[in-house]
Amino acid sequence: MHAILPPWTDPDPALLARLGDVIDPDRKVLAALERITPLSGKRTADAGTGIGHYPMLLARRTGRTYGIESEPELLEAARVRAGQAHQPNIRIVEGHPEALPLRDGAVDIVLHGLIDPDDACLPAIAEALRVIRPGGRLIVMGYYGRDDVGPLLDPEVVQHALEATQRRTGWWLRHDFKIKVVHARFDLHDESTAQELLVRLYGERGRAVLEAPHRTSLELKLGLYHRARR
C-alpha cells in the first residue's frame, strides 16, 4: 500500500486497516507471490509491515513469519492484531529497513514495501539480502502504473514508476530485479467508503474520480520486483 499512498499520509492504523480491505480484495498479490516462489513452510519477513497485513494473510501458508516495523503506533497495532489472530508462527518485531533484527540467512523470503527504485535504497536492499538464505528471494511490492489509479497520483510519481520499469533501461532491471505485474483493483463498491478514502488521500483528484460516473473499482497495477540471493 505504501506504493500508492501520498508521502504525507499519517501512520493511522484504522486507515491502513480500511485500505487493506479495499486494495486488492481478490488477493491477487498472494497468488502472484506463490507463482514467484513456493510459500509453503517458508520462513518469511515482511519489512515495513505496517499493521501486519501481509503476515496475517501469509500465516497459514508459510512457516515462521516476521512482521518488522519501526513506527511505534503501527508496531503496537500489528502486535495486537497478531495476538488476536492466534497464529503462533507470527512474530511482530521492531526494526528498520537498514537494520533488520534477524541473523544472516534467517529467512527464505523477504517482502518489502519500503524500497523505492532509487539508489538511496541500495543499503536497504543489501540488508534484506543479508537476512535471506542463499537461493531465497527478495520481493518488493511497488507501483507499476499504466492503470486507473495513475490520475489520482502526482504526475512525478507516475513518471518515476514508468521510467523505473522500462525494459532494459529501467532501474529495477538494471539492479537485477525481475518484474511481475499484478492486475489488482481498488474496490469502490461502497460509495461512502470510496468518498472518504479517495478525498482523504487524494484531495481534488479523488473528488474528480467520484464526480465521474460511478465505478465499482479502479484498475490497480502493482509490480512485484523480485531478486534471488545468489
User: Which class in CATH covers the domain with range 8-226?
Assistant: alpha beta
From residue 34, alpha-carbon distances to 123, 125, 130, 190, 224 in Å are 27, 21, 22, 30, 12
From residue 137, alpha-carbon distances to 36, 98, 102, 145 in Å are 9, 17, 15, 24
Whole-number pLDDT of residue 1: 64
Whole-number pLDDT of residue 69: 97
Q: Splitting the chain (230 residues) into consecutive groups of 10 residues, what average pLDDT does each group show?
A: 80 93 96 96 96 94 95 96 92 96 98 96 98 98 96 94 95 97 96 91 93 89 96
The distance from CA 10 to its chain's CA centroid, rounded to whole angstroms, is: 16
Query: Helix (H, G, I), strand (E, B), or coil: what is residue 68?
Result: strand
Whole-number pLDDT of residue 215: 85
The pTM of the full predicted model, rounded to 2 decimals, is 0.95
For the record, the C-alpha cell of 113 comes out as: 514495501
Whole-number pLDDT of residue 46: 98
Per-domain boundaries in the chain? 8-226
Number of Cβ within 10 Å of residue 35's Cβ equals 10
From residue 86, alpha-carbon distances to 22, 57, 79, 202 in Å are 24, 13, 11, 35
Q: How many whole angstroms separate alpha carbon 161 and alpha carbon 144?
A: 6
Q: How many whole angstroms separate alpha carbon 58 and alpha carbon 187?
A: 21
Q: How many whole angstroms separate alpha carbon 228 and alpha carbon 215?
A: 39
Whole-number pLDDT of residue 165: 97
Whole-number pLDDT of residue 214: 77
Q: State the residue for C-alpha cell 523480485.
A: 226
From residue 230, alpha-carbon distances to 56, 105, 183 in Å are 29, 12, 29
